């Protein structure tokens, strides 16, 4: 999977690349408008992370260029300008998603995975992790061919874990992913959800993949 | 009251008063002039009578016509005083009383004293005065009609540039991009007004854009380093073999960074609402939004064993920006969950006029009015930023919704009244 990171803040693009590398994504960088145009004309990417304010031009112009060349690359706008106009403009121009900075890398990774899944036209809407099979179209989960009865939030939580497997995910990131910005502060309630999901997976006869990492959050791994 | 109708009213009243006063003055003045004329005529009659007596030493013949008569009354002594007076006498020829002007004067003919009375009818004079009054009244009427017509057709046309400017100003939106389209006028006052208005609105728009750019830049400048900090911490937390102490440190920095970025976002949001940068107002289904957020928080509500009583009228439509509506509802519901007791309850009511949310909770340690101020927070939940309610208040102010909070019967009750 090839990802192009159009972002002038080198430290940030490095972090993103390091995080994504372990998901087997190959990352390329473009730190300016010209570089970005050059890259998108030469290559095709599964997903492009696009910052709006880049040296030499606007990320929205890059998006326009991309769309006028009928490129099918997925586009995720990552902008510090949390401005409604840019968001609306970007989505109207054909971006797939919009993520305001600062974001959790785990959230970014989940969004990229979602975009790539949607871009896949071969009808492959199944995600697998050992015995767990997630049908992202039907939003259902089955374990050893037995459908699991999960609530919507539990489904989203599991999908988030699988998109960020073998990573430490902070409680904060989980809370924001599930409830948005609204629930600031105490994240203890997440515990209940994790507990329920864990119980359902174990009851269905699987291993306990969810590990608590003391003080930090959770990790989904074998 | 409209300036035009006020002006018109004053104008009409003044005109009527002036015309009536001048009518009265006319009446007396002309009456005076005409009577003087009559008196002169009577004096001529007197002289003629006296001349006749001097010439022929005999009395002239007395006569009586409809409008003029002369009579000679013999008197014993000669102390007849010459005087003019107005009298009303019955005239046999027309069979009615008529006003006369008369002159009495003494006359001595062949040693006999006479009192001579010469009278002239005042009827013509009165006719004239009546005519004058009629003309005056007609003038009043004519003036009123012309004033009405002027007001109706000419003045409203004259004021058109002003009304146009006014309607443009009413539609003026500081965050909108289209400039005012002010009509050109050949009237100096309106041209000046338009100039002042366009200078002012341009400056306001410019200031607004500067503030808006500043807000966006500030947001950008702060969010980027924050994004780097957060991403590095996230990477750091992936490292193997971290000591417990180090993990705690990372977590602390992480939380602090999170709070900082949320604080920044909230402050930017407040500024944006202040700057009225949320303009895309459309009629949105408020009921749907409330439902959506109740559903979204359902697990959190369950986690605290809170029971909910939800009573939502379907299809409540409000003219409000959708994002702000979401923030409003989400903040109120989050507050009701956060400041609730274990096994407490939340009541949510929505009608086309009110949104009422109430929850069980402990007595607030502050004055209810202070709760809406920035950075005010209840002691029990120190994790909150203390901006949620001031954002709610700002959104309500933006849409002229009323917001009211009371604590009664162990419940926090917040009521939002829509301005429909």
Q: Find chain B residues with C-beta within 8 A of A16's C-beta.
A: 231
Which of A79, A104, A119 is the last residue in one of the domains?
A119
Q: Are A94 and A152 within one domain?
A: no
What is the domain count for chain A?
Answer: 2
Q: CB contact, 8 Å: B377 with chain A?
A: no
| A97: confidence class by pLDDT, cuts 50, 70, 90 | very high
Cβ within 8 Å of residue B12, ≥6 positions away: B144, B147
Q: Are A107 and A141 within one domain?
A: no
What is the maximum alpha-carbon separation in chain A? Answer: 56
Q: Find chain B residues with C-beta within 8 A of A165's C-beta.
A: none
The enclosing H or E element of A87 equals helix A84-92
Q: Are A107 and A164 within one domain?
A: no
In this complex, which of B248, B254, B333 lies closest to A172 when CB atoms are compared?
A: B254
Residue B39 DSSP label: H
Per-residue b/e over B16-52, b at no fewer than 16 CB within 10 Å?
A: eeebeeebeebeeeebeebeeebeeebeebbeebeeb
Q: CB contact, 8 Å: B385 with chain A?
A: yes
Q: How far apart are CA A220 and CA A162, in angstroms?
A: 7
Q: Are A39 and A111 within one domain?
A: yes
pLDDT, position A39: 92
Q: What are phi and psi of A184, to 5 degrees?
A: -85, 165
In a 10 Å sphere around its CB, with 0-12 CB exposed, 13-18 middle and 19+ buried, how is residue A72 labelled? exposed
Kindly report the CATH number assigned to the domain that includes residue A17.
Answer: 3.40.50.2300
Tell me what the mean pLDDT of segment A95-104 comes to.
Answer: 89
User: For residue B190, how many other CB atoms are within 10 A of its CB?
Assistant: 20
Block mean pLDDT (10 aa), chain B, length 420: 77 84 84 88 88 84 78 78 85 77 85 85 81 83 84 80 86 73 83 90 87 75 86 88 85 85 81 74 87 86 88 90 88 88 91 92 76 62 68 88 89 88
Q: How far apart are CA B220 and CA B213, in angstroms?
A: 10
What's the distance, Cα to Cα, between the start and end of chain B in Å?
26
Q: How far apart are CA A45 and CA A40, in angstroms?
A: 8
Q: Hey, what are B94's tokens? A: 């027309």
Cβ within 8 Å of residue B264, ≥6 positions away: B219, B222, B223, B226
In this prediction the pTM is 0.61
- Lowest average pLDDT, out of A46-50, A64-68, B131-135, B187-191, goes to B131-135
Q: CB contact, 8 Å: A122 with chain B?
A: no
Q: Where are the beta strands (DSSP E) in B75-185?
A: 83-91, 96-109, 112-121
pLDDT, position A5: 95
Residues 282-311 of B with CB under 8 A from A: 296-297, 299-300, 302-304
- Read off the pLDDT of residues A33-42 as tens digits, 9 standing for 90 and up: 999 999 998 8
Residue A49 DSSP label: E
Q: CB contact, 8 Å: A147 with chain B?
A: no
Which of A95, A119, A143 is the last residue in one of the domains?
A119
- Read off the pLDDT of residues A184-220 as tens digits, 9 standing for 90 and up: 545 667 887 888 888 888 888 777 888 888 778 888 8
Q: Are A6 and A104 within one domain?
A: yes
For residue B160, is the peptide bond before it cis, meaning its omega torsion is within 30 degrees of 0? no
Q: How far apart are CA A182 and CA B326, in angstroms?
A: 10
Q: Hey, what are B91's tokens? A: 């005239």
Sign for the CA dihedral angle at A212, A215, A217, A220 comes to negative
Q: How far apart are CA B16 and CA B19, in angstroms?
A: 5
Q: What are phi and psi of B57, to 5 degrees?
A: 50, 35
Task: State what percent of residues in chain A have pLDDT above 70.
Answer: 93
Whether B231 and A170 lie within 8 Å, measured CB to CB: no
Which of A98, A119, A140 is the last residue in one of the domains?
A119
- Tell me how far CA of residue B60 lies from CA of B46, B78, B115, B116, B132, in angstroms: 11, 19, 13, 11, 38
Q: Are A155 and A194 within one domain?
A: yes
What is the tally of helices (H) and strands (E) in chain A? 8, 14
The HSE-up count of residue A191 (CA atoms within 13 Å, CB side) is 11
Q: How far apart are CA A101 and CA A82, in angstroms?
A: 8
Question: Residue A196 is part of which domain span?
Answer: 126-220
> B301 to chain A, minimum CA–CA distance in Å?
10
Closest to A47 (Cα-Cα) out of A106, A104, A105, A97: A97
The HSE-up count of residue B178 (CA atoms within 13 Å, CB side) is 7
Residues 222-261 of B with CB under 8 A from A: 223-224, 226-232, 234-235, 237-238, 244, 247-248, 250-251, 254-255, 257-259, 261
| A32: confidence class by pLDDT, cuts 50, 70, 90 | very high
Q: Are A110 and A136 within one domain?
A: no
Whether B234 and A16 lie within 8 Å, measured CB to CB: no
A54 with A82: CB under 8 angstroms?
no
Tell me: pLDDT of A138 over 90.
no
Distance of alpha carbon A114 from its chain centroid, rounded?
6
User: For residue B309, how many other CB atoms are within 10 A of its CB?
Assistant: 10
Q: How far apart are CA B311 and CA B308, in angstroms?
A: 10
Q: Are A187 and A147 within one domain?
A: yes
> A180 to chain B, minimum CA–CA distance in Å?
9
Q: Are A37 and A11 within one domain?
A: yes
A180 with A172: CB under 8 angstroms?
no
> A184 to chain B, minimum CA–CA distance in Å?
6
A162 with A201: CB under 8 angstroms?
no
B26 with B116: CB under 8 angstroms?
no
pLDDT, position A13: 92
Tell me what the mean pLDDT of segment A165-174 comes to.
Answer: 86
By DSSP bridging, strand A140-143 and strand A146-148 are antiparallel
A198 with B312: CB under 8 angstroms?
no
Distance of alpha carbon B144 from its chain centroid, rounded?
27
Q: Are A40 and A148 within one domain?
A: no
Q: How far apart are CA B60 and CA A62, in angstroms?
A: 126
The HSE-up count of residue B35 (CA atoms within 13 Å, CB side) is 17
Closest to B169 (Cα-Cα) out of B202, B207, B197, B206: B197
Q: How far apart are CA A77 and CA A60, in angstroms?
A: 9
Whether A216 and B247 lie within 8 Å, measured CB to CB: yes
Closest to B372 (Cα-Cα) out of B416, B413, B329, B403: B403
User: For residue B290, how many other CB atoms are within 10 A of its CB?
Assistant: 24
Q: Find chain B residues with C-beta within 8 A of A189's C-beta.
A: 299-300, 303-304
Whether B255 and A53 lie within 8 Å, measured CB to CB: no
Cβ within 8 Å of residue B174, ≥6 positions away: B204, B205, B208, B275, B276
Q: Hey, what are B116's tokens? A: 């001579």
Q: Are A29 and A136 within one domain?
A: no
- Tell me how far CA of residue B419 lies from CA of A127, A201, B24, B351, in angstroms: 49, 50, 58, 12
CA closest to A165 among chain B residues:
B238
pLDDT, position B378: 56
B317 with B284: CB under 8 angstroms?
yes
What's the distance, Cα to Cα, between the start and end of chain A in Å?
23
Q: Are A153 and A198 within one domain?
A: yes
Alpha helical stretches, state H, B239-351 = 244-274, 286-296, 298-303, 322-338
Kindly report the CATH number assigned to the domain that includes residue A175.
Answer: 1.10.10.10
Number of A/B CB contacts below 8 angstroms equals 126
């Amino acid at each position: 999977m090839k990802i192009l990171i159009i972002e002038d803040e080198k430290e940030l693009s490095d972090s993103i690349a390091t995080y994504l590398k372990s998901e087997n994504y190959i990352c390329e960088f473009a730190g300016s408008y010209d570089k970005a145009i050059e890259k998108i004309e030469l290559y095709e990417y599964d997903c492009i992370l696009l910052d709006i304010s880049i040296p030499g031009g606007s990320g929205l112009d890059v998006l326009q260029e991309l769309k006028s060349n009928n490129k099918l690359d997925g586009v995720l706008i990552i902008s510090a300008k949390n401005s409604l106009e840019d968001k609306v403009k970007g989505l109207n121009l054909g971006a797939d998603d919009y993520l305001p900075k600062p974001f959790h890398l785990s959230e970014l990774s989940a969004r990229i995975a979602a975009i790539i899944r949607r871009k896949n036209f071969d009808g492959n809407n199944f995600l697998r992790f050992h015995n767990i099979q997630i049908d992202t179209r039907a939003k259902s989960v089955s374990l050893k061919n037995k459908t699991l009865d999960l609530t919507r939030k539990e489904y989203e939580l599991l999908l988030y874990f699988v998109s960020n497997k073998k990573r430490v995910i902070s409680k904060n990131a989980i809370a924001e992913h599930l409830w948005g910005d609204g629930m600031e502060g105490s994240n203890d309630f997440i515990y209940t959800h994790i507990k329920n999901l864990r119980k359902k997976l174990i009851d269905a006869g699987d291993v306990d993949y969810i590990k608590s990492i003391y003080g930090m959050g959770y990790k989904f791994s074998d | 009251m409209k300036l035009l109708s006020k002006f018109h009213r004053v104008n009409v009243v003044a005109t009527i008063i002036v015309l009536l006063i001048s009518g009265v003055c006319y009446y007396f003045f002309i009456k005076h002039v005409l009577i003087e004329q009559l008196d002169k005529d009577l004096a001529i009659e007197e002289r003629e009578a006296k001349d006749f007596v001097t010439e022929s030493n005999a009395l002239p013949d007395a006569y009586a016509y409809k409008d003029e008569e002369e009579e000679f009354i013999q008197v014993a002594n000669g102390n007849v005083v010459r005087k003019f007076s107005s009298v009303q006498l019955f005239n046999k020829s027309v069979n009615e009383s008529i006003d006369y002007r008369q002159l009495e004067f003494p006359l001595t003919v062949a040693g006999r004293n006479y009192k001579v009375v010469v009278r002239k009818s005042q009827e013509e004079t009165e006719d004239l005065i009546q005519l004058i009054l009629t003309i005056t009244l007609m003038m009043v009427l004519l003036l009123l009609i012309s004033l009405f017509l002027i007001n109706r057709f000419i003045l409203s046309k004259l004021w058109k540039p002003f009304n146009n400017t006014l309607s443009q100003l009413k539609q003026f939106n500081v965050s909108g991009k289209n400039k005012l389209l002010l009509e050109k006028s050949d009237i100096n006052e309106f041209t000046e007004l338009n100039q002042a208005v366009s200078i002012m609105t341009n400056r306001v728009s410019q200031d607004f854009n500067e503030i808006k750019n500043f807000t966006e830049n500030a947001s950008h400048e702060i969010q980027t380093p924050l994004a780097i900090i957060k991403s590095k911490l996230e990477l750091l937390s992936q490292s193997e073999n971290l000591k417990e102490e180090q993990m705690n440190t990372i977590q602390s920095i992480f939380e602090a960074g999170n709070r900082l970025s949320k604080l920044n976002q909230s402050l930017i949001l407040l500024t944006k609402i202040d700057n009225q940068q949320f303009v895309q107002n459309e009629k949105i289904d408020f009921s749907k939004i409330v439902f959506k957020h109740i559903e979204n928080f359902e697990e959190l509500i369950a986690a605290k064993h809170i029971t909910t009583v939800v009573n939502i009228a379907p299809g409540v439509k409000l003219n409000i920006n959708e994002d702000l509506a979401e923030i409003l509802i989400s903040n109120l519901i989050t507050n009701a969950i956060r400041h609730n007791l274990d096994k407490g309850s939340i009541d949510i009511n929505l009608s086309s006029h009110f949104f009422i949310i109430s929850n069980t909770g402990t007595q607030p340690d502050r004055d209810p009015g202070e709760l809406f101020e920035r950075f005010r927070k209840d002691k029990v939940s120190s994790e909150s930023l203390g901006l949620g309610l001031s954002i709610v208040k700002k959104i309500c102010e933006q849409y002229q919704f009323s917001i009211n909070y009371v604590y009664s019967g162990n419940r926090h009750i917040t009521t939002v009244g829509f301005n429909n």
